[in-house]
A and B are shown apart, each in its own frame.
Chain A
């Protein structure tokens, strides 16, 4: 039952009426008007008291008090604009940064994937743990087994790559996906125009139907509603457009590039250009599936395990027990965002620490102010304010502060959103899902309230414990705060230092990892090198392929090389495939390929996976890769000569640890009749990742294997703005249908390969700097406060002959004590938690003593500096003034 919002006025007039009735009754009994009035009042008792009781009993008193507190709070905050500005700014930055990081976490880790029933979607990965290989891909028969198993609604291998779309003014290279016809049904997507693939279509090869993205439709076809049925020329094949995908539909790929698909083509993967569908040809690199409704992933996994076991029995040749073939189902979301979880949670933790330090700082400010307001509090208490009422008042003020801070933080975030998104690396999965939505706003609100509660609680509880007598008696004395308050402030400063140290150690470790990576000798020289890409069409019908034989392609390569050499500034030229671009793999999804080594042919799946690059002979000199043994490629290793290969030291060590690798033979497919002979061993170069010193590599000759995704390497004094244009002219004068794109200097590529590390390092360094600044301000505040409190004492000491040096040392010692205590606590915490970030480090141990010591010294140095300013003030105290102040 809520009160019917009865107003106090109504109650008052009721009492009035009562008194009138009583007076009239008494007058009827013969009393005079005055006597009757007095008697009525007497028998009523205290009118004000009963009004007050009525007032307090109504529930809206709580709200009234609340509003009163807020109005009062606003007045108090406006009265001290300096304090308010600093506190609001601190909280705004803390909340803004925390919310920014949270919005990334929210989009990537918390939100489900944007498809119907996303919990049924899984990624299917094949492992061969017996030979130490993970995610080796799937063969067509295995895919068909899974599709027929009854465990899944749909199973859909996804292939893809670049395709040349010709017919418009410039041939363009676009990303396409090669999917089975059940793919749209699996992801639950319907065309916005036309239709999607017929799931019952069982064409073994490409069925020549194309779905195009909303983006391509609008960009290349001006959103032409008559697009359906029109033909697209893709790699010299004609495809019919059957539908336009809805806007906002993306493939569940990992990175922005993988998701920005323009064209989907349907294929059964069982006919040309796909290899023959045999069990050990695992060319389906990525497979997704939708499990049947009602099955959990664990149940589906156990049924898949049973299926795998029965297949192993049925095909013992293909699945030798020592390779231990397994098929893993991973929630699709996990496979999309799993690899960034650690970094993101780490960043959220780091930014949370910054917010916490900010809160501690504001708590310190509020406490300092509480010192000067303690008389106000004492007077209010003396006048009858309940302690709970005072605590509520102070808490309301703190919450008001934190909410205003939170709103400012959100405003900052809102206006800098575009700028912030630019510094997020492109490789972050689900980048385009990041937005300021309701859950982000709710998070900001909760974070603000928590912040307010954290920094408001200590001062509020202090106010509740004021010793009235002492406080009122102290009138006119210089002392402002209680000893207990100073103690609390010291504890806060120590906390602040410990938290800052934690953050700075994290930043220091990341910084050292990063600088180690930058200074690592990569084993190749990226200076003055540019790579420009092109793509040779692969038509479905081999008869129409003008680059179908090694001889045809070799002719093109030689012509491109000859023409590129004539460009201004160019000193050296080479051609390779996309794998040959050092550290360029963040931009593509080509993995290592299986390699069969002569003399150790193993059955079925037990083949090592090796990174393979295809290059022309000039490549090694151009990149400055060192030859250790044997020889490099030369012009006679051409399309008519027996195939040759170069391997790196890591490969040689791994497979011929004792003997000589030169003269050994390898091949890439069991069905391929020709062996490739190793003719030389190269020094290891960090071409896969700067963090990995020795990854086995094999290089084959571009004239002997027809690479389609080409990179043209140029060295010299190049103008990065002009070269791509000039090179395009040269390439298209050989074949006008070839697109030229993706020009990048190798130094850019190298730098890009560190983008994610650079991002976390910069962010954490920024946080650590903020923390250091806040900790410095915190200790400055406390020491100033202590100096102010002891001005009188210093005056006496100086008057009695103390040296100013002694006083200086005394003050500094106090600050140093706080800093050292904080640093010690922080170091212990860091020792405990730093191993959590081991996965983010390179070259340094999580307990790197140099980093720990350096950071601690830096922090203590900053503390001394922050204490020096108030300490100077202490020694400049004029004894006369200090004593007169008494």
Chain B
């Protein structure tokens, strides 16, 4: 479980972190560390998320009103700041997801045609 192997993992594309955070929060409120772990686990540990970069991103999303935060108690009885999606955040997630899928499809097509 050493992060030294992280260099072989995929670096996040610019701007995709926001999308991943929103997506993670759709299953309910979560604290920062939980978000980081969820992204790593659901991507089969393919994606590298530097935890330090996560917090400014959370802060940014909060300022935009897409997520809201409050302090709570984690499952193992630790104080943690829990984030949850707002209605605006939900809409943003749909928008971003659509955009991302179109982008991925388009890029996929181009790459496929080159291989052919």
Q: Give residues 39-75 of A contacting B (CB, 8 Å).
A: 39, 42-47, 49-50, 53-54, 57
Interface on chain A toward B: helix, strand, loop, or mixed SS? helix
**Within the assembled complex, what's the spacing in Å between the Cα atoms of A44 and B3?**
10
What's the nearest-Cβ distance from chain A to residue B65, in Å? 5
Check A29 for interface membership: any CB of B closer than 8 A. Answer: yes
Check B13 for interface membership: any CB of A closer than 8 A. Answer: no
Q: Contact partner of B55 among A2, A29, A54, CB < 8 A?
A: A54
**Within the assembled complex, what's the spacing in Å between the Cα atoms of A3 and B65?**
10
Q: Is the CB of B64 within 8 A of A1?
A: yes
Q: Is the CB of A50 within 8 A of B56?
A: yes
Q: Is the CB of A17 within 8 A of B78?
A: yes
**Within the assembled complex, what's the spacing in Å between the Cα atoms of A26 and B2?**
10
Closest residue to B34 on the A side, CB-wise?
Answer: A21
Question: A25 — which chain B residues lie within 8 A by C-beta?
Answer: 33, 37
Check A20 for interface membership: any CB of B closer than 8 A. Answer: yes
Q: Is the CB of A21 within 8 A of B74?
A: yes
Check A22 for interface membership: any CB of B closer than 8 A. Answer: yes
Q: Contact partner of B31 among A1, A10, A17, A24, CB < 8 A?
A: A17
Interface on chain B toward A: helix, strand, loop, or mixed SS? helix
Q: Give residues 1-60 of B contacting A (CB, 8 Å).
A: 1-3, 6, 31-34, 36-37, 50-53, 55-56, 59-60
Give a binary string over A1-42; 1 marks a CB under 8 Å from any B CB, 0 the rest. 111101000110111011011101110010000000001001
Q: Contact partner of A11 among B1, B50, B59, CB < 8 A?
A: B59
**Within the assembled complex, what's the spacing in Å between the Cα atoms of A13 and B31?**
13
Q: Is the CB of A20 within 8 A of B50?
A: no
Q: Given A22-B33, A29-B1, A57-B60, do A50 and B53 touch, yes or no (CB 8 Å)?
A: yes
Question: B3 — which chain A residues lie within 8 A by C-beta?
Answer: 39, 42-43
**Within the assembled complex, what's the spacing in Å between the Cα atoms of A46 and B6?**
16
Q: Contact partner of A50 among B33, B55, B64, B65, CB < 8 A?
A: B55
Q: Is the CB of A46 within 8 A of B2?
A: no
Q: A15, A18, A20, A49: which has the most chain B beta carbons within 10 Å?
A: A18
**Within the assembled complex, what's the spacing in Å between the Cα atoms of A446 and B64?**
36
Q: Give residues 54-112 of B contacting A (CB, 8 Å).
A: 55-56, 59-60, 62-65, 74, 76, 78-81
Q: Is the CB of B55 within 8 A of A3?
A: no
Q: Is the CB of B64 within 8 A of A14?
A: no
B contact set with A: CB distance below 8 Å: 1-3, 6, 31-34, 36-37, 50-53, 55-56, 59-60, 62-65, 74, 76, 78-81
Known: A11-B59, A24-B78, A57-B60. 14 other contacts (CB 8 A): A1-B65, A3-B63, A13-B79, A18-B36, A18-B51, A22-B51, A25-B33, A25-B37, A43-B50, A43-B51, A45-B50, A47-B52, A50-B52, A50-B53
**30 A-B pairs, CB-CB below 8 angstroms?**
A2-B63, A3-B63, A6-B59, A10-B81, A13-B79, A14-B32, A14-B55, A15-B55, A17-B32, A17-B78, A17-B79, A18-B36, A18-B55, A21-B31, A21-B78, A21-B80, A22-B33, A22-B51, A24-B76, A39-B2, A42-B3, A43-B6, A44-B50, A44-B52, A45-B52, A47-B52, A50-B53, A50-B56, A54-B56, A57-B56
5 pairs of A and B residues whose beta carbons are closest in the complex = A45-B52, A21-B33, A44-B51, A50-B52, A18-B33
